[in-house]
């Protein structure tokens, strides 16, 4: 409502109120005046005055004529006297005697009465004697009562008119006031009604809003807690009751921090809120969700997600907190992580299993192929020859499959390109084409190469990886394009002074691949065309291997294809172009697709330690090697003299004859193996040690603890004809490890354990048990009281075993004792032996048992 309207209404109300009040005062006075009659009828008294006078006059006239008694005169005189007295005293008739003339007339009346009172009271004879005189006086005033009566009538009429007028005026003002009042009431009712309508509308709107708010609060899945600035809880919804486990009624008025924050966090949370308020740290109010720890009414702690809004309420600033118990979410997350880890480890286990299986299969397969070769030498009829051909084909396919699987395992177990060397581009391409020419010819497929881009001849990359990818892709293309054309394309782009990008593409016009299948073809064991698969008997691993290799080279393998038009496989590799020495390709006769295949060698393995021997034997056997074992130097010399081994792996510290002496003897005497490369297998990794080995005639060193990867690398290097370079060592790393405080080393080497598991497979628990049993025996035998040189010898032996069984700390501790012995510090040696070794062994034993049982569970 506008201001002027309010003011107007106010004024109207005031005016009406004033009118009503003055009117009611007036009316009250009038009513009071009317309620009691202040006078009797003056008119009547005055008219009676005339009658009483006339009766007196009549009595006087009759008495004068002797016709009536004197008492009648006296009575009439008294009555008239009384009447005049009344008029004289009465308030009510005073107004009649207003004019001087009337007062004069009235005075004449009273004079008459006063003059004659004594006469009237006189004895009868006196009164009778003066009756004439009395009569004369009566006659004299005879017109006065009439005159007064008439005057009074006139006055009464005037007065009556005045009264009537006054009443009319009062009535009129009442009517006017009533009308005004009626009007004002009407307006007031109208205004009130419209106000009420508006109020009703507003009230119901507020009601609806409240209902909406309340129901949305109730329905909210989040707990909602409303607190004042100091944390006092002023509202608490149904979800909050559930989340915090207490009723709204119970918790209202409690402090949120004291009630729902764990003791250990209360102060820090309070501080956080203070920091938000004074701006020390960015406020999280109205700034999305974040995580806190809360606790429920029963004191159980729970991780919660919270978002906070603020508003100004009756209580000053209030905060509305939306909370959610995320215990389950976090549990689920953890479960997912565990599940993922389990899946990953299961996957790894599976591929390890396949890899081990494949290794195990390859030896007998090789045996079969050899046997088939031998069979081919014998005399066969045509049918037998055909059957043999089928067997040979099958064996070849089977070996191909096994090799595919091994490739996958090998690629996955290494992280980065392992062999970056200078590579000449053109020979690489022609090598691939050359290798597959026969296959292409057989299918009547035309094979082309297309070289484009920068004229760079040599780059640094992993030659074998690229070669294998290209062999797989081109081989695949040939398979799927009988009678078609396959083009191997390469575009070289300089991307910097020292870098370039190689864009490879393999294009065919074969049957192509459905769009839906393109993603799938890079997965393992996928063959798109099942009928073709039967025909070609692929494992479906070729593209999977190619994809892995390209990934490892830092590129991505792409495929575009249209059914019945053809396919394009392409990938790019970033390479370095400097370090421009031409590649020294160690070309071996079987270089090419089968370049990764390790040949079979006869190897003499010399170690006095059964575990080491067992381990190394197994690693070699897994790689198809033919292994003989010697338990000490003497035995080794004996065996080496009788057979020409391809390679001898020689432990250094051995009873009877140590490795160095044995090496010297093999080289010196007329042994069949005197030209055979001999590699030291030792934990003696210091450079002076290695010089010593070299002087004794050894070709290289294999450092303990033995890793299957190291052995494989040694074999490959050896196979590549690189006799001296095959000295595989991780010497610098091991040296550092040795110099470290033994206490800082891990109890067990997880990587090595994984390696052992890979090597021993399901025999691992048994092997571990054997190790523990043997080592425990050794610990018992090791007496601090023994002579120093015995201790040294025994400790060295045990160190070798510890190293072999993935126990770096134990190995280092034993090494410390050995060093103390060597440097002639018997007290130190005995002290470590006495005080520390047993504890380290106990810990190592426990850790090993734990690792094996974890492994068992994971499997």
Partner 1 sequence: MSALAPTQILCRGATVIAMFMALTAAAFGQQLAQPSQQVLLTVSGKISVMNVGDTAQFDMAALQKLPATEFETTTTWTEGPQTFRGVSLKALLDYLKASGTTLSASAINDYSVSVPVSDAVENGPIIAYLANGKPMHRRDKGPLWLVYPYDANPAYKSETIYGRSIWQLDRIEVK
- Minimum distance, C-beta of residue 79 to partner 1, in the bound complex (Å): 5
- Minimum distance, C-beta of residue 38 to partner 1, in the bound complex (Å): 6
Among 4, 35, 670, 787, binds partner 1 (CB under 8 A): 35
User: DSSP assignment, residue 123?
Assistant: -
- Minimum distance, C-beta of residue 120 to partner 1, in the bound complex (Å): 9
Residue 457: which residues within 8 A CB-CB, separation 6 or more?
424, 425, 426
**How far is the C-alpha of 423 from the C-alpha of 404, rounded, in Å?**
24
Q: Is there binding between residue 89 and partner 1 (CB under 8 A)?
A: yes
Closest CA to 792 of 826, 839, 745: 826
Beta-carbon count within 10 A of 62 CB: 14
Q: Draw the binding track, 261-300, toward partner 1 (x: CB under 8 A; -: no contact).
A: ----------------------------------------
- Minimum distance, C-beta of residue 28 to partner 1, in the bound complex (Å): 15
Q: Is there binding between residue 16 and partner 1 (CB under 8 A)?
A: no
Among 43, 58, 90, 602, binds partner 1 (CB under 8 A): 90
Among 22, 24, 85, 242, binds partner 1 (CB under 8 A): 85
Stretch that binds partner 1, among 80-88, 208-216, 469-477, 616-624 (CB under 8 A): 80-88
Q: Is there binding between residue 78 and partner 1 (CB under 8 A)?
A: yes
Stretch that binds partner 1, among 34-42, 201-209, 366-374, 454-462 (CB under 8 A): 34-42
Q: Is there binding between residue 119 and partner 1 (CB under 8 A)?
A: no
By C-beta, is 84 or 714 nearer to partner 1?
Answer: 84
- Sign of torsion, CA 585 586 588 590? negative
> How would you class 449 by CB atoms within 10 Å of its CB: exposed for 0-12, middle for 13-18, buried for 19 or more?
middle
Q: Is there binding between residue 160 and partner 1 (CB under 8 A)?
A: no
Q: Is there binding between residue 29 and partner 1 (CB under 8 A)?
A: no
Measure the N-to-C terminal CA separation of the chain; round to a whole number of Å. Answer: 84
Q: Are 563 and 513 in contact (CB under 8 A)?
A: yes
- Minimum distance, C-beta of residue 8 to partner 1, in the bound complex (Å): 44
Beta sheet of 602-606, edge-to-edge order? 626-630, 602-606, 647-651, 678-682, 700-703
**How far is the C-alpha of 631 from the C-alpha of 606, rounded, in Å?**
6
- Minimum distance, C-beta of residue 102 to partner 1, in the bound complex (Å): 20
Stretch that binds partner 1, among 89-97, 231-239, 288-296, 482-490 (CB under 8 A): 89-97
Stretch that binds partner 1, among 33-41, 468-476, 506-514, 616-624 (CB under 8 A): 33-41
Q: Is there binding between residue 38 and partner 1 (CB under 8 A)?
A: yes
By C-beta, is 75 or 772 nearer to partner 1?
Answer: 75
Q: Is there binding between residue 50 and partner 1 (CB under 8 A)?
A: no
- Minimum distance, C-beta of residue 27 to partner 1, in the bound complex (Å): 18
* Alpha helices for 301-424 (secondary structure H): 327-377, 382-413
Q: Is there binding between residue 118 and partner 1 (CB under 8 A)?
A: no
Q: Is there binding between residue 86 and partner 1 (CB under 8 A)?
A: yes
Among 53, 81, 504, 645, binds partner 1 (CB under 8 A): 81
Stretch that binds partner 1, among 90-98, 653-661, 676-684, 758-766 (CB under 8 A): 90-98
Q: Is there binding between residue 79 and partner 1 (CB under 8 A)?
A: yes
Ramachandran region, residue 288 (left: φ > 0; alpha: ψ -120 to 50; beta: rest): left
Q: Is there binding between residue 75 and partner 1 (CB under 8 A)?
A: yes
**How far is the C-alpha of 659 from the C-alpha of 693, rounded, in Å?**
9
- Minimum distance, C-beta of residue 74 to partner 1, in the bound complex (Å): 9
Stretch that binds partner 1, among 72-80, 253-261, 263-271, 295-303 (CB under 8 A): 72-80
Q: Is there binding between residue 36 and partner 1 (CB under 8 A)?
A: yes
**How far is the C-alpha of 687 from the C-alpha of 332, rounded, in Å?**
53
Stretch that binds partner 1, among 81-89, 353-361, 637-645, 804-812 (CB under 8 A): 81-89
Q: Is there binding between residue 92 and partner 1 (CB under 8 A)?
A: yes
Q: Is there binding between residue 41 and partner 1 (CB under 8 A)?
A: yes
Beta-carbon count within 10 A of 668 CB: 11
- Minimum distance, C-beta of residue 51 to partner 1, in the bound complex (Å): 9
Q: Is there binding between residue 594 and partner 1 (CB under 8 A)?
A: no
**How far is the C-alpha of 356 from the C-alpha of 361, rounded, in Å?**
9
**How far is the C-alpha of 423 from the C-alpha of 253, rounded, in Å?**
80
**How far is the C-alpha of 721 from the C-alpha of 32, rounded, in Å?**
147
Beta-carbon count within 10 A of 432 CB: 25
By C-beta, is 113 or 447 nearer to partner 1?
Answer: 113
Stretch that binds partner 1, among 85-93, 407-415, 498-506, 559-567 (CB under 8 A): 85-93
Among 46, 49, 52, 810, binds partner 1 (CB under 8 A): 52
Among 40, 111, 263, 750, binds partner 1 (CB under 8 A): 40
Q: Is there binding between residue 37 and partner 1 (CB under 8 A)?
A: yes
Beta-carbon count within 10 A of 157 CB: 10
> How would you class 516 by CB atoms within 10 Å of its CB: exposed for 0-12, middle for 13-18, buried for 19 or more?
exposed
- Nearest 5°: CA angle at 423, between 422 and 429? 175
Closest CA to 44 of 152, 161, 160: 152
- Minimum distance, C-beta of residue 39 to partner 1, in the bound complex (Å): 5
Based on its alpha-carbon atoms, the radius of gyration of the chain, rounded to whole angstroms, reads 66
Q: Is there binding between residue 68 and partner 1 (CB under 8 A)?
A: no
Closest CA to 641 of 617, 657, 665: 665
Give, in order, the Cα–Cα distances in Å from 811 to each of 651, 688, 739, 797, 805. Answer: 16, 20, 12, 10, 9
Stretch that binds partner 1, among 71-79, 213-221, 628-636, 737-745 (CB under 8 A): 71-79
By C-beta, is 36 or 530 nearer to partner 1?
Answer: 36
- Sign of torsion, CA 160 163 169 172? negative
Helix (H) or strand (E) holding 317: strand 316-325
Q: Are 352 and 406 in contact (CB under 8 A)?
A: no
- Minimum distance, C-beta of residue 31 to partner 1, in the bound complex (Å): 12
Stretch that binds partner 1, among 37-45, 264-272, 356-364, 770-778 (CB under 8 A): 37-45
Total number of residues binding partner 1 (CB under 8 A)? 22
**How far is the C-alpha of 687 from the C-alpha of 695, rounded, in Å?**
12
Stretch that binds partner 1, among 36-44, 180-188, 761-769, 770-778 (CB under 8 A): 36-44
* Alpha helices for 66-143 (secondary structure H): 70-89, 100-120, 124-129, 131-140
By C-beta, is 117 or 686 nearer to partner 1?
Answer: 117
- Nearest 5°: CA angle at 557, between 554 and 558? 140
- Minimum distance, C-beta of residue 184 to partner 1, in the bound complex (Å): 35
By C-beta, is 82 or 535 nearer to partner 1?
Answer: 82
By C-beta, is 69 or 826 nearer to partner 1?
Answer: 69
Provide the 3-class DSSP secondary structure of residue 1.
Answer: coil
- Minimum distance, C-beta of residue 128 to partner 1, in the bound complex (Å): 21
- Minimum distance, C-beta of residue 198 to partner 1, in the bound complex (Å): 52
By C-beta, is 84 or 356 nearer to partner 1?
Answer: 84
By C-beta, is 82 or 271 nearer to partner 1?
Answer: 82
**How far is the C-alpha of 543 from the C-alpha of 578, rounded, in Å?**
31
The long-range contacts involving 629-632, CB below 8 angstroms and separated by at least 24 positions, are: 629/604, 629/605, 630/604, 630/605, 630/606, 631/606, 631/607, 632/606, 632/608, 632/656, 632/657
Residues within the interface to partner 1 (CB under 8 A): 35-41, 48, 52, 75, 78-79, 81-83, 85-86, 89-92, 117
């Amino acid at each position: 409502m506008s201001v002027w309207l309010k003011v107007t209404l106010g004024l109207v109300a005031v005016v009406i109120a004033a009118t009503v009040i003055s009117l009611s005062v007036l009316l009250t006075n009038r009513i009071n005046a009317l309620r009691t009659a202040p006078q009797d009828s003056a008119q009547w008294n005055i008219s009676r005055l005339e009658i009483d006078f006339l009766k007196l006059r009549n009595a006087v006239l009759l008495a004068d004529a002797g016709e009536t008694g004197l008492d009648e005169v006296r009575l009439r005189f008294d009555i008239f006297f009384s009447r005049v007295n009344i008029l004289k005293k009465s308030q009510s008739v005073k107004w009649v005697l207003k004019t001087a003339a009337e007062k004069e007339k009235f005075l004449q009346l009273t004079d008459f009465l006063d003059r004659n009172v004594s006469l009237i009271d006189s004895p009868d004879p006196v009164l009778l004697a003066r009756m004439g005189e009395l009569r004369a006086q009566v006659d004299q005033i005879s017109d006065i009562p009439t005159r007064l009566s008439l005057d009074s009538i006139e006055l009464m009429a005037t007065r009556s008119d005045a009264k009537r007028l006054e009443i009319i005026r009062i009535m009129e003002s009442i009517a006017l006031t009533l009308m005004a009042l009626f009007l004002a009431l009407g307006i007031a009712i109208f205004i009130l009604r419209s106000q009420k309508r508006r109020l009703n509308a507003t009230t119901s709107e507020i009601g609806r809003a409240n209902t909406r708010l309340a129901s949305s609060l109730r329905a909210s899945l989040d707990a909602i807690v409303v607190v004042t600035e100091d944390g006092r809880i002023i509202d608490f919804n149904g979800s909050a009751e559930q989340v915090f486990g207490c009723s709204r009624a119970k918790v209202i008025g409690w402090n949120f921090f004291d009630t729902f924050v764990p003791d250990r966090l209360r102060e820090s949370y309070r501080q956080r809120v203070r920091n938000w308020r004074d701006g020390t740290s960015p406020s999280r109010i109205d700034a999305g969700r974040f995580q806190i720890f809360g606790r429920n009414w029963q004191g159980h702690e729970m991780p919660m997600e919270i978002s906070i809004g603020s508003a100004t309420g009756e209580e000053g600033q209030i905060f509305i907190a939306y909370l959610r118990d995320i215990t389950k979410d976090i549990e689920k997350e953890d479960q997912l992580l565990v599940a993922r880890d389990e899946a990953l480890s299961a996957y790894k286990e599976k591929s390890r299993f396949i890899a081990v299986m494949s290794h195990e299969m390859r030896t007998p397969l090789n045996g079969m192929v050899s046997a088939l070769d031998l069979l081919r030498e014998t005399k066969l009829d045509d049918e037998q020859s055909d059957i043999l051909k089928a067997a040979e084909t099958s064996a070849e396919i089977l070996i191909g499959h096994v090799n595919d699987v091994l490739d996958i395992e090998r690629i996955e177990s290494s992280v980065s390109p392992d062999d970056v060397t200078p590579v000449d581009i053109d020979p690489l391409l022609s090598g691939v084409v050359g290798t597959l020419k026969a296959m292409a010819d057989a299918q009547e497929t035309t094979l082309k190469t297309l070289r484009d881009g920068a004229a760079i001849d040599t780059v640094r990359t992993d030659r074998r990886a690229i070669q294998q990818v290209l062999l797989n892709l081109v081989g695949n293309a040939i398979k799927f394009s009988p009678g078609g054309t396959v083009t191997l394309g390469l575009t070289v782009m300089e991307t910097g002074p020292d870098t370039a990008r190689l864009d490879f593409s393999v294009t065919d016009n074969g049957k192509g691949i459905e769009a839906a299948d393109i993603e799938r073809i890079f997965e393992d064991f996928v063959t798109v065309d099942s009928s073709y698969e039967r025909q070609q008997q692929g494992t479906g691993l070729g593209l999977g291997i190619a994809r892995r290799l390209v990934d490892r080279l830092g590129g991505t393998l792409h495929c575009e294809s249209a059914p019945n038009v053809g396919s394009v496989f392409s990938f790019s590799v970033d390479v370095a172009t400097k370090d421009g020495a031409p590649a020294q390709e160690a070309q071996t006769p079987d270089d090419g697709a089968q370049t990764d295949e390790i040949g079979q060698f006869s190897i003499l393995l010399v170690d006095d330690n059964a575990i080491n021997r067992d381990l190394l034997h197994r690693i070699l056997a897994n790689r198809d090697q033919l292994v003989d074992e010697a338990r000490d130097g003497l035995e080794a010399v004996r065996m080496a003299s009788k057979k020409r081994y391809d390679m001898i792996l020689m432990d250094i510290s051995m009873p009877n004859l140590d490795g160095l002496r044995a090496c010297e003897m093999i080289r010196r005497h007329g042994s069949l193996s005197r030209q055979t490369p001999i590699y030291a297998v030792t934990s003696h990794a210091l450079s002076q040690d290695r010089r010593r080995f070299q002087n004794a005639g050894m070709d290289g060193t294999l450092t303990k603890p033995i890793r299957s990867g190291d052995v494989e690398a040694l074999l490959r290097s050896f196979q590549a004809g690189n006799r001296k370079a095959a000295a595989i060592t991780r010497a610098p790393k091991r040296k550092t490890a040795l110099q470290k405080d033994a206490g800082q080393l891990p109890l067990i080497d997880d990587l090595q354990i994984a390696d052992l598991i890979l090597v021993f497979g399901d025999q691992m628990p048994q092997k571990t048990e054997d190790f523990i049993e043997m080592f425990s025996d050794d610990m018992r035998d090791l007496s601090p009281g023994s002579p120093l040189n015995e201790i040294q010898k025994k400790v060295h032996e045990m160190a070798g075993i510890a190293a072999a069984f993935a126990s770096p700390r134990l190995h280092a501790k034993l090494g410390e004792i050995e060093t103390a012995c060597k440097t002639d510090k018997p007290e130190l040696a005995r002290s470590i032996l006495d005080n520390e070794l047993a504890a380290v062994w106990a810990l190592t034993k426990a850790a090993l048992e734990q690792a094996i049982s974890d492994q068992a569970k994971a499997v």
